[in-house]
Amino acid sequence: MAMALQEDVRRSPRERLLEAARELFYAEGVHRVGIDRVIERAGVAKASLYSTFGSKDGLVSAYLEEYHERILSRRRAAAEAAGDPVSAILAVFDSMAQDFKRPDYNGCAFVGARAEEPAGGLVDDATRSFRADIRALFWDLCAEAGAADPDTLSYQLQMLYGGGGEAAKLDRDPDVAAAQRAAVETLLRASL
């Protein structure tokens, strides 16, 4: 117990606030969770939140930015480890399938946050940025694979990516990944 407490003290208030936000916002939603719960979970003073992030919106923005970088890095690493562009596309979906198996899997953080927000604003901007980066990853891989129309194929892959993630969340079934991968393989065979 003392060791865990020492680790908490060594981590900056920023790290602790982001970790608390990541856990609470992902599980329950950015609007359902108030800053008092985040501060309590992080074990920091309210002033730390305001001096570090400026506001709850600043914390939400940092949470989504961290999620964006973490997920995109994971997907890119999976693609880079594959031997060829087609295998790389499949590896992106295999990486996603690993997420479906996590007991705390609650879908895409952007979908959750965006469902709580009206159009426009920082959540909408963050969501568009994440989706653009996922689509760009697919576009690059489709072009490398020799797709005649990488624009259309990358868009179709992005739809399968998002749809599979939501199906795994809503159905609480990590085996959705097998159907998602089969659909991707069929699409790639038809398109390449």
Rg (CA), the chain: 19
Q: Which tokens hold the place of 58?
A: 């600043």
pLDDT reported for residue 10:
78
Q: Can 1-54 and 57-191 be said to share one CATH topology?
A: no
Q: Minimum mean pLDDT among 1-15, 155-169, 176-190: which range?
A: 1-15
d(CA 123, CA 136): 20
List the chain domain ranges: 1-54, 57-191
Average pLDDT over the chain reads 94
What's the pLDDT tens digit per position in 162-174? 999 999 999 999 9
| Amino acid identity for residue 164 in this structure | G
Contact 13/42 with Cβ under 8 angstroms?
yes
Q: pTM for the whole thing?
A: 0.92
Q: 57 — phi, psi (to 5°)?
A: -60, -40
User: What's the confidence (pLDDT) of residue 4?
Assistant: 47
Q: Identify the residue with better confidence: 92 or 3.
A: 92
CA 21/CA 153 separation, integer angstroms: 35
Segment 72-103, tens digit of pLDDT: 999 999 999 999 999 999 999 999 999 999 99
B/e letters for 12-42, b = 16+ CB within 10 Å, e = fewer, are ebbebbbbbbbebbbeeebeebebeebbebb
Topology of the domain covering 57-191? Tetracycline Repressor; domain 2 (1.10.357)
* Range 1-54 classified under CATH 1.10.10.60: yes
